[in-house]
Chain A
Amino acid sequence: MFDALSDRLRDVLGRLTGRGHVSEADVDAAMREVRLALLEADVNYRVVKDFIARVRARAIGTEILESLNAGQQVIKIVHEELTNLLGQGDRTFRLTGQPAVVMLVGLQGSGKTTSAAKLARHLAKQGRQPLLVAADPYRPAAVDQLVQLGRSVEIPVYTAPQGTLVVRIAQDGVAQARRTGRDVVIVDTAGRLTIDEALMDEIRQVAEAIRPSETLLVVDAMTGQEAVNVAQAFAASVPLTGLVLTKIDGDARGGAALSIGAVSGLAVKFLGTGERTDALEPFYPDRLAGRILGMGDVLTLIERAQETLDAKVAEKAAEKLRRNAFTLEDFLEQMQQMKRMGPIGQLLEMIPGMRGLAREAQGAVDRGELKHIEAIIQSMTREERADPSILNASRRRRIARGSGTSLPEVNRLMKQFGEMQRLMRLMQRQGGRRPALPFGR
């Protein structure tokens, strides 16, 4: 999400690096570009104005410009101010009360219902017992949607008979949780416009009736300049405690979140990273700042790995790598494990310096190349998988036919796998660089 923004910033600021002498005019030129980059990322224009003014004031009129690494110093200031912007607000997710109540509010189409299901799944994984409450009686089939999502994440959903007032639905939902011993209630509300006084009044009444310990505003990452006003208008009606930023798996630059944080002090608490119900991440500003600055986000990757990977399988693979006995069979197993962790592009992006590769890899997945690799390996016999050196021309032709691919594709995979094995042997000896991945050109 923030890639395009960070790419632009690095590009602009890159021109300052390695330069001993930086003039005031250089800084101004760079700031004009930074301003454009931020505005193109949908950061609110008032926030941008303040940001530029602060950076400029810190860079000019001090001895920084006189120093030997002036360019680096200016970049450092930008980074610090950026991290500062990202780090606004209190990020603690509070579940207090019996049951604890979480309410999701927002504009139409921001992703409340999907986020509610994701959040329920997330909390259930942490040992909580959530109850989802369908409190959107207006949009056709909104209740159906939550019921279906609830079924898919195996969380019960409370629905009220048609015609029940929304305040009543919410109250009954909480009562139901108390009766059935669920310890968290997640209330999915209808999308509403901030200028709709009747509906804004309704949400205020709901909040007063059920006193949520968390009232999260769900914000689409693609939102423009209006995001700040929307947040402020919702905050005026209900006591907002944080944000869920959705659809960040697109290429939107996510300036909305930065802006809301800077203006209203509300922190992003969760990120929606895809359409699957497990595509929800807690938000860590330091990690995200790292991602923006191209330092990767290894912590999130490790957590995701711990959550989804089968430790035994991983250990076995590592052991085989050490003994140089890593076969195509293991390779297939690894690939399937990786897939469970989420889109490969997102995974690689979390590793420092892998952004370019991440894009290429995701492209390979989208083009179906990984599926081809799977098909090719699955079309081999056990002996072939264990020892690819026995693959003669006739075996390769059979595999190509069996997997619905072509001979060149089979040959390419075998060549790449051979290279990978060679690299791994090299790594064993030198403890050096990471291996090339077996796809892409």
Chain B
Amino acid sequence: MFWRRTRPESGSAGGQPETAVAPAAADPVPADVPAAADGAAPGSGAGPAQIADGVQASRRGFMARLHSILRGGPVDDEAWEAVEETLIAGDVGARLAMEVVARARDRRDPGGPEAAVRAELARLLPASTAGPWRPARPDRTLPAVVLVVGVNGTGKTTSIAKIAARLAGEGDRVLLAAADTFRAAAIEQLEAWASRLALPIVAHRAGADPSAVVFDALDAAVARDADVVIVDTAGRLHTRHNLMEELAKIRRTIDKRLPGVTPEVLFVLDATTGQNGLAQAKAFHEAIGLTGIVLTKLDSTAKGGIVFAIEQALGVPVVFAGVGERVADLVDFDTDAFVEALFA
């Protein structure tokens, strides 16, 4: 619902799934992979209504419950407790839910409890950035670099395909780097996407040094005059010190090969993640410095409430929401609308 509401604002700048997908076939990048002969063009048939439906399905339970609780007459202790429970059930976290409710009660908002809780939730999120996300590129002569990181199984590779398709659709020359050299068939998975999207990809054999892949990808990007390099990294648990070190090494490789280029680091977070999501985000932030969050699988029944705690702790904005398995199923994350939608 709220995605539909925000589309007029963000759509013109490329937020619409259709615009993100259609031009992929007419990609200006000289692809060194076979052109996407794939009849099932990625994202075909993904209308905005379907996406809205998908998101709505995940939101419905949470919002409807908050709504009914907060609309239902005089709010006594029991009702406030129910609000707290609803927030906890949405993975907001017990401590934060208690804080939000306590502050909402103190507010004595003339608009009633609904407005009070909404305002308190909104305060946890940074204000929406102007326009949809684009990788920072201060020096137009050098490619922008986007590193995509996260724990295992959150949807990094799929998100990369979606982001790549969107940027390519906006006219960027996109190059993919298969730096997940660890997981079985991870390279093949990214290659399959590159082939479908007709994008060039730099890959080494399985088990190769990820930093070496990145170095070569940057070389290739400069040689081909690419606009954006998107780097797929292996999923890693944030508690594995040496694997987190490997990320820092990739970062240093970028500094070495393209001095002055600050990579975007997108942290991919599965919306079904519970309180551990905060520990994940903190560890990745510490290791490599996050610049944005991609919240995936929002089309599920999960609520993604851990985002509030992450935003409160780190202030790293959520830039995209993944709402399905097709390439078009990636939408801009609008924080104001996100909170508002809790009550829709």
A residues sitting closer than 8 Å to B (CB atoms) are 35-36, 39-42, 45, 107-111, 113, 138-142, 144-149, 152, 193-195, 220, 222-227, 229-230, 233, 247, 249-253, 255-256, 275, 363, 366-368
User: How far is B190's CA from A242's CA once the two chains are assembled, in angstroms?
Assistant: 33
> Hey, which chain A residues are within 8 Å of B301, CB to CB?
193-195, 226, 229-230, 233
Within 8 A of A (CB), among B121-179: 151-155
A226 touches B189 (CB 8 A): no
Q: Mark B164-207, 1 if CB is under 8 A from A, else 0.
A: 00000000000000000011111011011100100000000010
> Hey, which chain B residues are within 8 Å of A146, CB to CB?
184
User: How far is B186's CA from A149's CA once the two chains are assembled, in angstroms?
Assistant: 12
User: How far is B233's CA from A142's CA once the two chains are assembled, in angstroms?
Assistant: 17
B188 touches A225 (CB 8 A): no
User: How far is B154's CA from A230's CA once the two chains are assembled, in angstroms?
Assistant: 16
A148-B185, A220-B153, A251-B279 known; A140 vs B273 contact (CB < 8 Å): no
B273 touches A223 (CB 8 A): yes
B241 touches A366 (CB 8 A): yes
CB distance from A348 to the nearest CB of B (A): 15
Count of chain B residues with Cβ under 8 Å from any Cβ of A?
51
B237 within 8 A of A: yes
A149 touches B300 (CB 8 A): no
CB distance from B110 to the nearest CB of A (A): 31
A256 touches B274 (CB 8 A): yes
**Stretch of B89-97, B213-221, B251-259 on the interface side:** B89-97
> Hey, which chain A residues are within 8 Å of B18, CB to CB?
none
A39 touches B183 (CB 8 A): no
Within 8 A of A (CB), among B56-94: 57-58, 85, 88-91, 93-94
B residues sitting closer than 8 Å to A (CB atoms) are 57-58, 85, 88-91, 93-95, 151-155, 182-186, 188-189, 191-193, 196, 206, 237-242, 270, 272-277, 279-280, 297, 299-303, 305-306, 325
> Which residue of the partner chain A has the closest CB to B192?
A140
User: How far is B274's CA from A41's CA once the two chains are assembled, in angstroms?
Assistant: 8
User: How far is B300's CA from A256's CA once the two chains are assembled, in angstroms?
Assistant: 17
User: How far is B192's CA from A138's CA once the two chains are assembled, in angstroms?
Assistant: 12
> Which residue of the partner chain B has the closest CB to A254?
B276
User: How far is B26's CA from A290's CA once the two chains are assembled, in angstroms?
Assistant: 61
> Which residue of the partner chain A has the closest CB to B90?
A225
User: Of the candidates A39, A41, A253, which one forms a contact with B88 in the assembled complex, judged by CB atoms under 8 Å apart?
Assistant: A39
User: Of the candidates B58, B276, B297, which one forms a contact with A250 in the assembled complex, judged by CB atoms under 8 Å apart?
Assistant: B276
User: Of the candidates A42, A111, A194, which one forms a contact with B276 in the assembled complex, judged by CB atoms under 8 Å apart?
Assistant: A42
CB distance from B131 to the nearest CB of A (A): 30
A35-B94, A226-B300 known; A140 vs B274 contact (CB < 8 Å): no
A45-B85, A45-B89, A109-B155 known; A253 vs B275 contact (CB < 8 Å): yes
A368 touches B242 (CB 8 A): yes
User: How far is B237's CA from A247's CA once the two chains are assembled, in angstroms?
Assistant: 8
User: Of the candidates A36, A145, A251, which one forms a contact with B183 in the assembled complex, judged by CB atoms under 8 Å apart?
Assistant: A145
User: Of the candidates B151, B238, B241, B275, which one forms a contact with A367 in the assembled complex, judged by CB atoms under 8 Å apart?
Assistant: B241
> Hey, which chain B residues are within 8 Å of A367, CB to CB?
241-242
> Hey, which chain B residues are within 8 Å of A256, CB to CB?
274
CB distance from B5 to the nearest CB of A (A): 22
User: Of the candidates B88, B153, B196, B239, which one forms a contact with A108 in the assembled complex, judged by CB atoms under 8 Å apart?
Assistant: B153
Q: Give the top 8 A-B pairs by smallest Cβ distance, nearest first.
A: A224-B274, A109-B153, A42-B274, A140-B192, A366-B241, A145-B185, A141-B189, A39-B94
